[in-house]
Amino acid sequence: MNIWIAIAVTAVGCYAVKLIGLLVPAGALERPVVKRLAALLPVALLAALTAQQTFADGQALVLDAKAAGLAAAALALLLRAPFLLVVGVAVVVTAAVRAMTG
Amino acid sequence: MAEHTASPPADITGTGDGGASTPESPAKSDRAVVRDALGVGVAVGLSGFASGVTSAGSGLSLLQTCALSLLVFTGASQFALVGAFAAGGNPLTAAAGAFFLGVRNAFYGLRLSQLLALPRAVRPFAAQWVIDETTAVSLAQPTRRGARIGFAVTGLTLYVLWNLTTLLGAMGADAIGDTDAWGLDAAGPAVFLALLAPMLRTTTERAVAGIAVVLGLGLLPLLPAGVPVLVAALAAPLVLCVEGYRSGRTGGGAGRTGEAGSNGQRHSAEAEKEDR
């Protein structure tokens, strides 16, 4: 039930912000500070989420096969690999390291 | 700004170099627009598979997983919500993190509303497709007609494929059982990293990301699940304040300097308070 509530809240919230952008008069959100903040907010959230989902197990910090997978994904990104390949490399390397280390 | 918000998604699809983000001649044919739009729509649409697998692997039912892709339809928010569930987070903090990631779509909508000039009655229906990829393709078109075609084709392709691959991914995850053994728990963070990488262009973005990582990991053992990510989001206003303070000092704007400085202190004080 809790999951459904969260899905509903997220769905309504995400749809609302999409619609607001289309409906508000041009210029209302065009202040430079607001735009800078809107561009930087995803950077902060994505960085924190990447780090947590790589190094966290519940509330404990761990270093496991996922770290190797993400390192490989970072390398793929540096080599300008396409999106799907980056994700694929992370999955394969994580699985391989996990299989080797038991 | 338009370039800034639009180019990361174009880059991550792998078409950023020669595809959708390069405006060709002003008389770009409709077919060329459709081709660009299909390229982006298919490439990103297929990654819905990762979304379905991750969601099912995090314990969501098939119906919940599909509802997410149908109703939320903005990838980063979906992965954030699902990841928060997997970590045992409170549903409302999980939803808050996903919501804040979706806020950027409002700014895409703002650009698109000028560009597409949609009738008011159509806007509620077009809104669900206002995401990274449709914005990137639309902004890359030299004409309004091209932008409208690009938006519609990218939106439709992505929406259909993303939901189909989500369904297949969720069913596949159920069939293979332990998704962790296949390394599929690395798909979520890898998606985030791939979305993040093209945004890290200047020192400002890198500083925000660095502080967010430190806050997100440092506070993880101390605060309830889901909350550290929200605190880490404060890295954005914090760095903006420091930046404003610096440019205020070098630029000689005395009034702004004081304001930015006190804001910066307030934010770091808040972060310290959360730390305890």
| DSSP assignment string, A16-65 | HHHHHHHHSPTTTT--HHHHHHHHHHHHHHHHHHHHHHHHEETTEE---H
Q: What is the pLDDT of residue B14?
A: 37
pLDDT of residue B26: 53
| Contact between chains at B195 and A46 (C-beta distance less than 8 A) | yes
Q: Residue B111: its pLDDT value, please?
A: 82
User: Contacts of residue B241 in chain A, CB cutoff 8 Å?
Assistant: none
Sequence-distant (6+) residues with CB within 8 A of A38 are A29, B103, B104, B106, B107
Q: Let me know: does B65 contact B46? Beta carbons within 8 Å.
A: no
Q: Is B209 helix (H, G, I), strand (E, B) or coil?
A: helix
Interchain pair B237, A37: CB under 8 A: yes
Which chain B residues are closer than 8 Å to A37 by Cβ?
236-237, 240
Q: What confidence tens digit (pLDDT) does each residue in B11-51 have?
A: 333 333 333 444 445 567 899 899 888 888 887 888 888 88
Which percentage of chain A shows pLDDT scores above 70?
Answer: 96
What residue of B is the nearest CA neighbor of A58?
A: B87
Domain membership flag for residue A50: no
B14, B87, B110 member nearest A29 (Cβ): B110
pLDDT recorded at residue B264: 40
- Where on the phi/psi map is residue B252: left (φ > 0), alpha (ψ -120 to 50), or beta? left
Q: Does B42 touch chain A (CB under 8 A)?
A: no
In a domain, A53, yes or no: no
Compute the nearest-CA separation of B39 from chain A (Å). Answer: 12
What's the gap in Å between the CA of B27 and the closest CA on chain A? 27
b/e B135-147 (16+ beta carbons within 10 angstroms → b): bbbbbbbeeeebb
**Residue ranges of B 72-131 with Cβ closer than 8 A to chain A:** 72-74, 76-77, 79-81, 83, 85, 87-88, 91-92, 94-95, 97-110, 112-114, 118, 120, 123-124, 126-128, 130-131
Q: What is the pLDDT of residue B9?
A: 39
Helix (H) or strand (E) holding B110: helix B104-116
The pTM is what? 0.74
The stretches in chain B having pLDDT less than 50 are 1-24, 252-276
Whether residue A24 is contained in a domain is answered as yes
The domain locations on chain B are 2-199, 205-275
**Number of domains forming the structure of chain A:** 1
- Domain for residue A6, yes or no? yes
CA B47 to chain centre: 14
ipTM of the complex: 0.90
Interchain proximity A33–B185, CB inside 8 Å: no
Q: What does the pLDDT read at residue B10? A: 37
Tell me, yes or no, whether A4 lies in a domain. Answer: yes
To test the contact with chain A by mutation, choose from B46, B192, B238 the residue with the greatest count of A C-beta atoms within 10 A, namely B192
Q: d(Cα B149, Cα B30) in Å, to the nearest integer?
A: 8
Give the residue, B160 or A36, on which the prediction is more confident. B160
Q: In this structure, is residue A12 part of a structural domain? A: yes
pLDDT tens digits for A68-102? 999 999 999 999 988 788 989 999 999 999 999 87
**Window 214-243 of B, Cβ < 8 Å to A:** 215-217, 220-221, 225, 228-229, 232-237, 239-240
Residues facing A57 on adjacent strands:
A60
